[in-house]
Amino acid sequence: MGTRDSGVQRLAVEAAAFGVGYASLLCWASVALVASFGGAPLASPYWPDLPWLRTDTTGVAAFAIGAVSLVVGRYLRLRRSRRAPVPPSPAGRPGALAAVQATAETAALLATAAFAYLSFNAVTHYYPLRLELTHLWPGPSEGTVRVIALGVCILSVAVAHYLRSAPRWSAARDRQREVLGHNGVRQVEQPAASPDLETRLGGRVDPG
């Protein structure tokens, strides 16, 4: 019962993390639309009931919260998948690799979103690529961040693809090793002997 309760709690945390991550990305997307189309000043409150919370500050906070939440949710999902029945592998996959895969997949998603936003923003405005990305700290410019996001996409997509393919590759390698004998010599399975004529006819065959 304790193991079952623990599994239910982990699943609840996983679901909550995905929910928070999804809502945070929606919040960031709404700020990105304001920045691209200029519907309201970014220094204005995102929510009138919180006049001290600027719209652009909300977007930065939502992006950070979404990144952390999606990494946590994806990590818990990968750990849950490892506990499901799978072909046995002597090496297994440590939790650190699941964390790296979750981080890479989330980074690929967020870097793609950031690259798309900055590129679209450059289409609707002619000057923002030279401006600072946010008022919270000096630099880098939006153009520099767009190039960084492109580099993050290259690295994160490559790492995520490798780690998603690694279990299947490892399983094939383990099956190949099982075919090898202890002395490293491949053990070739002999084909089953074909039944003789007497067996196929169901009785003894009299000569002549």
Domain ranges of the chain: 2-82+93-178
Enter the tokens of residue 32: 């990105």
Q: Given this model, what pLDDT does residue 128 score?
A: 66
What is the per-residue DSSP string for 113-160?
Answer: HHHHHHHHHHHH-SSGGGSBS-TTSS--BHHHHHHHHHHHHHHHHHHH
**What CA dihedral angle connects 90, 4, 2 and 83, to 10 degrees?**
10
CB atoms within 10 A of CB 99: 16
Q: Given this model, what pLDDT does residue 82 score?
A: 67
What Å distances lie between residue 194 and 190, 197, 200, 204, CA to CA? 12, 9, 10, 17
Measured CA to CA, the distance from residue 43 to residue 199 in angstroms comes to 91
Specify whether the CB–CB gap between 175 and 168 falls below 8 A.
no
Q: Given this model, what pLDDT does residue 66 score?
A: 92
Backbone phi, psi, residue 201, to 5°: -85, -5
| 3-state SS assignment for residue 31 | helix
Measured CA to CA, the distance from residue 32 to residue 197 in angstroms comes to 80
pLDDT along the chain (208 residues), means of 10: 72 89 89 78 80 88 92 89 53 74 91 86 71 75 83 88 70 51 50 51 52
Q: Given this model, what pLDDT does residue 189 score?
A: 47
Q: Given this model, what pLDDT does residue 196 score?
A: 53
As a whole number of angstroms, the longest Cα–Cα distance in the chain is: 109
Specify whether the CB–CB gap between 97 and 170 falls below 8 A.
no
The secondary structure of residue 206, as a DSSP letter, is P
